[in-house]
Structure 1
Amino acid sequence: MVMNMLKRLSLYTLLLCLVPVFVWLSAWQWSGNLVFEDYEHPLYWLTETGSVPYAIITCGVFALLFLPLFSNRKQWILAVAVMAFSMVVTQGLKSGLKNVFAEPRPFVTYIAEQTGTGTDAFYAQDRKARAQIVDRFYQTQSSVPEWIKGHYADEVGYSFPSGHTIFAASWLMLTVGFVQLLDNRKGSAKLLLGFMSIWALLMLVSRLRFGMHYPIDLLISVLMAWLVHWVMFAFLAKKRYFQKAE
């Protein structure tokens, strides 16, 4: 069971790692001169599902989507506790590492270059002052859609690691882990896996497309989520908290 769990988690981790790897192989780089198209607006709404406070709603909706996987309500409630533990641990790790590495976001570096200021001066300000700097800059950028300007003003934290990526990867790992743990091969389980995979992949793509992160941010964040959930599900696999679905 433990080895099978490792294989399944690793397989879906590899799937997510294809996003930063493909970007490296294609030599694509984000630029502040990139033009946003109208069809990219839905990608913005998708990335918002991982932003505070909407991420809290996302967690609630996703927890409900897991309900059909379990044979009884008691199992599901225990699983929700595991999900909450996952979110607290991974987001806590993310917050701690951001403060340690203090890497500027790509779009912040672009603003600093265009205005002749340094990123150190930008991050020396409090979050409210940073948001005002970003807002003033993008007021002069008529080619940038209004729907993304507000997101830039909200995302004035550090780049490494990616909170949205570890959030998305964690939910995918939770899906894979519980499906494997319960040995659930029903159509609903496959549908949930497919949905979570596509959602997580698009989340990673959106973080690169909007200039929020570098590929290395995504790669390390995915690997962090894999490690946390490998340890967590390896522990659960050795216990009998969850019986296989009927």
Structure 2
Amino acid sequence: MRFNTTDFQNLSEKSLGLMLTGFVALFVSFYIFLSLADDVWEDETFKLDAMVKKFIASFNTPWLTDMMGYITETGSVLWLTVATILVVVYLVLLSDKSYWVATFLVINMLGISGLTKGLKLLFERQRPETLEQFDGTGFSFPSGHSTGAITFYGFMIYLVVICKLSKGWKWVINGFLTIWILLIALSRVFVGVHYITDIIAGLAIGLAWLLVCIVALALLRRR
């Protein structure tokens, strides 16, 4: 895949529609996160957490837990750090005029890392279980694997959208990436180190930050 200036210029009116959709999604994401954050701050319990935990326990097996353990690793700090470095190297060295794209990918990942750590320290929500095997240490809210997964793989979805691939391949690749984001997020509940509300909050704040970075990048490129 190659990216150049014309890739951005050809978006024209479509890009404006996408940015408008992005602003709406940004508002909804912040609203969902703030609604959950308010209840967590008041130490309220969620019926949804208990319901989802009971539902998963009804069919979860050691084999399924192990499989989810492998999936959850693709949302770990180490995995995403290495993947980000590889993509940045590709964008800078092999792709045409993609320095700003690479820069915003780095901003995207460093920003969500700092934001997630800050929010965890702010809310200090305890995990349902502490399991070092699955990076289940520290505070619980929001889920760091969920924020990391949606910001990194979400940025990959954006790169696929603006690259020179056929429409069919874009749907296939982005469909897979979307499913993978959700699997990483849900894996945290299957391995028992997060509540579902941690996951929803992580996806919401991660999506909000991703959209901020993408909109800022799009506006910069249009200028």
**TM-score when scaled to structure 2?**
0.67
Alignment-derived partner of residue 4 in structure 1 = 18
Q: 8 Å contact 2:129–2:136 — kept in the other structure?
A: no
Task: Give, in whole Å, the separation in 2 of the partners of 1:57 and 1:39.
Answer: 26
Q: Determine which of 95, 112, 123 is the counterpart of 2:117.
A: 95
Q: Is 1:48 the equivalent of 2:73? A: yes
Of 177, 185, 189, the match for 2:170: 189
Displacement after TM superposition at 1:196 (Å): 1.2
RMSD between aligned alpha carbons? 3.8
| Secondary structure, counterpart of 2:211 in structure 1 | helix
Q: Residue 50 of structure 1: CA displacement?
A: 1.7
Retained in 1: the 8 A contact 2:68–2:190? no
The residue identity in structure 2 corresponding to 1:29 is K
Kept in 1: contact 2:112–2:206 (CA 8 A)? yes
The unaligned stretches of length 5 or more in structure 1 are 18-22, 109-148
After superposition, residues 56-205 of structure 1 pair within 5 angstroms as: 56-60=81-85, 63=87, 73-108=95-130, 151-152=133-134, 154-180=135-161, 185-205=166-186
**Would the aligned equivalents of 2:76 and 2:145 in 1 still touch at CA under 8 Å?**
yes
Q: Give structure 2 stretches of 5+ with no counterpart.
A: 1-14, 33-46
The answer (yes or no) to whether the contact 1:162–1:213 under 8 Å persists in 2 is yes
Shift of 1:241: 6.5
Shift in CA distance, 180/8, structure 1 to aligned 2, threshold 3 Å: farther
For 2:203 and 2:140, how far apart are their aligned partners in 1? 14
AA at the equivalent of 2:17: M
Q: Name the aligned partner's letter for residue 76 of structure 2.
A: S
Shift of 1:223: 1.6
CA distance in 1, matches of 2:211, 2:49: 28
State the distance in 1 between where 2:181 and 2:219 align.
Answer: 28
How many pairs are equivalent? 189
Once the two structures are TM-superposed, the CA of residue 86 in structure 1 deviates from its matched residue by 0.4
1:25 deviation in Å?
A: 9.9
The amino acid of 2:108's aligned partner reads S
What TM-score does the superposition give when structure 1 sets the normalisation length?
0.62
1:181-207 CA-to-partner distances (Å, cap 9, x unmatched) read 568654443333122112101101101
Q: Which amino acid aligns with 1:224?
A: I
Match of 2:6 in 1: none
Check whether the contact 1:172–1:200 (CA below 8 A) recurs between aligned residues: yes
Secondary structure, aligned partner of 2:215:
helix
- Structure 2 residue corresponding to 1:231, chosen from 191, 207, 212: 212
Q: Does 1:29 pair with 2:43?
A: no
Which residue number corresponds to residue 36 of structure 2?
none
**AA in 1 matched with 2:126:** P
Distance 1:180 1:101, change over 3 A: same
Larger radius of gyration: 1
Tell me, in whole angstroms, the C-alpha distance in 2 between the residues paired with 1:82 and 1:217: 26
Residue identity over aligned pairs, in percent, reads 25
Does the C-alpha gap of structure 1 residues 150 and 214 become closer, same or farther in structure 2, counting only changes over 3 Å?
closer
Deviates more, 1:168-177 or 1:96-105: 168-177
2-structure distance, mates of 1:58, 1:36: 30
Matched residue SS, 2:97: helix
